[in-house]
Structure 1
Amino acid sequence: MATLIVMDHSGDTRYDFNTGDAKEVLEAEARFKELTGAGFTATTRNTFGEPTVTRSFDPTAEETLFFPRLVGG
């Protein structure tokens, strides 16, 4: 199982998907593209456990965390 975690004003929403199920992987990839297209920043952890910004969907990542675009002012 892998998880997409979306942070927003109300906390977080988690979307689990089975990496062995092609349909679920396609749905997760579509959600990834939708979120990044809407301005969210996606991060995964590298081999050292540090967060790394990612610009493409990686179905092998255990967790992908999405942060909304920050607006200053």
Structure 2
Amino acid sequence: MATQIVMDRTGDSKHFFDRTDLVGLAKAERRFGKLTGQGFTAATRTPSGDLNLVRTFDPTADETLFYPRLVGG
């Protein structure tokens, strides 16, 4: 089971999907496109636990983290 974690000002939400389920996989890919289109940064975890920025949907990633861009001022 793969996970997409979305962090925003209200906290975080987790979305789980089965990579073998084509409908769930398509929904996860649409969520990726929607969030990155809204300005969220996407990152996957490496085996060592570090984050690796990604620009395209990776259906093989166990965990993808989405976090909003920081706004300075």
TM range (shorter): over 0.9
Look up the match of 1:26.
Answer: 26
- What's the offset of the Cα at 1:50? 1.4
Per-residue deviation, residues 32-56 of structure 1 (Å, max 9, x unmatched): 0000000000000124331010001
Identity of counterpart residues, as a percentage? Answer: 56
Return 5+ residue gaps in structure 2 as ranges.
none
Matches within 5 A, 1:1-73: 1-73=1-73
For 1:47 and 1:6, locate their aligned partners in 2 and report how far apart those are by CA, in whole Å.
Answer: 20
For 1:49 and 1:5, locate their aligned partners in 2 and report how far apart those are by CA, in whole Å.
Answer: 15
Q: Which runs of 4+ in 1 moved over 4 A?
A: none
Normalized against structure 2, the TM-score is what?
A: 0.94
Cα RMSD of the aligned pairs, angstroms, is 0.8
Structure 2 counterpart SS, 1:26: helix
Structure 2 counterpart SS, 1:70: coil
Between the two proteins, the alignment pairs up a number of residues equal to 73
